[in-house]
Structures are given as structure tokens and as C-alpha cells.
Amino acid sequence: EVKLVQSGAEVKKPGESLKISCKGSGYNFNTYWVGWVRQMPGKGLEWMGIIYPGDFDTRYSRSFRGQVTISVEKSISTAYLQWNSLKASDTGMYFCARAPTSTSHPKHFDSWGQGTLVTVST
Amino acid sequence: DIVMTQSPDSLAVSLGERATINCKSSQNILYSLNHNNYLAWYQQRPGQAPRLLIYWASTRESGVPDRFSGSGSGTDFTLTISSLQAEDVAVYYCQQYYSTPHTFGQGTKVEIK
């Protein structure tokens, strides 16, 4: 069974750093893209970026480039989303999701993690 | 970036009736070399993660009931729920995966009338 299991909820202060994780199992982690999607409270889905563990090819939405870092640790089948300096506006639910690949191009998200709630507040 | 626009923002349908959601892309998302439309539909029930329903605009994901169907090509797409069930109350999103960023529509909330 394909599973993506995300790390637990976080409460942080503005300016703090944070790294959340997404562990894949039940499939060859290196041959599927892993993407991150933000959902702010009461709002829709925003595509943040995606990484291919096989060759570390990483693509970001312009809105998130420079604001977050997406990485992977292949040896433990885990993807990460990292902030160096959180803002209150980073508050939201963050989902990881798996995407099949087609000639080095990510496709639709066919499996999703349960989400990690990040709250940034003084 | 490709902009995805859904309509309506919300709709209320009686149990057993048809629900239709439209999605329009700002650019053509039909890839001419393979004749595939790079369009997916997702369902997000309250308090849950999204779930893939349809990909390549009309291919139903394994395990998705056949009352869900997708159609359209180029820039205009439709998700149809042929006979609404109580468990279909959710927000539905379209997404293009033709080019990064793989943008989502704003979502359509489906409720029971």
C-alpha cells in the first residue's frame, strides 16, 4: 500500500526556522516526484514546488521560490519542506503528495499525505 | 503561469441529481504529440486531504465510483457527478500539470440542497 506520512503539527514564533517531513512507503521512492501544497485557513490549494528524488531535480512556484526549500533524503525515503524565517502568513496546512513521472515531467498527484498544520504566532 | 478558473464557486444539488463543475485554463493544456489533456480533478472532503478523482481529463482513478466523469479538451473541462450522494459533499479542484507551477483552480464547494 502506498503511504505518505507527514510529521506532526507545529507551533512556532515569527522568525523561527522549521523543517517538516513526508515519509513515503509502499513504492520506489526514487522514481516518483514529491510535491508540496499549501492550504491557508479556509482557502484553496496552492502548488508550492516539487522534487524528483532520483536526480534531485527541483521546481518551485515563483510565489514560493526563495521562501522555502524542498529537499529529500533518499536513504530514508523522506522529503522535506523547510523555512529559515517563518512569518505569520506561513500559517496553514501543508500537504505532500506523490506524482508519477513522464519523460522527466511530473504528472498529477496520485497519493497524498495527511497534512501538517503549521501555526506561526507570537 | 497558467491560470485555472472554476465555475461556479459553489452549488447545491438534491440527492440523486446531477452536479456539473466547469474548469477553464488560460492556455491550451492539450499536448499535441500524445493527444493528452494535462488536467486532473481532486475531491477534498471536510477535514481531509485531497483525493485524486480524474486524470488526463477523463481517466477515472482506481476505486473512484463511476458516477464521477470528466470531459473536455484544450482549455475547457467539466467534472460531472451523475447522481449526487451524501458522501460527495466536498470541495472539488481542477489542476493543470502541463507546465510548472501545476496550478489549481480556486475550488467549487458542492452541498446538498
Residues in chain B with pLDDT values less than 50? none
CB pairs under 8 A between A and B: 65
Shortest CA distance from A109: residue in chain B: B52
Contact A6, A115 (CB under 8 A): yes
pLDDT tier, A90 (very low <50, low <70, confident <90, very high otherwise): very high
SS3 for A88?
A: helix
Single-letter residue type at A2:
V
B64: contact with A, CB 8 A cutoff: no
Q: How far is A84 from chain B (nearest CA, A)?
A: 22
B67-73 contacts at long range (C-beta below 8 A, 24 or more positions apart): B68/B41, B70/B39, B70/B41, B72/B23, B72/B37, B72/B39, B73/B30, B73/B37
The pLDDT score that the predictor gives to residue A104 is 83
Q: Note the pLDDT tens digit of each residue in A45-55.
A: 999 999 999 99
What DSSP state is assigned to residue A65?
B
- Are the beta carbons of A108 and B44 separated by less than 8 Å? no
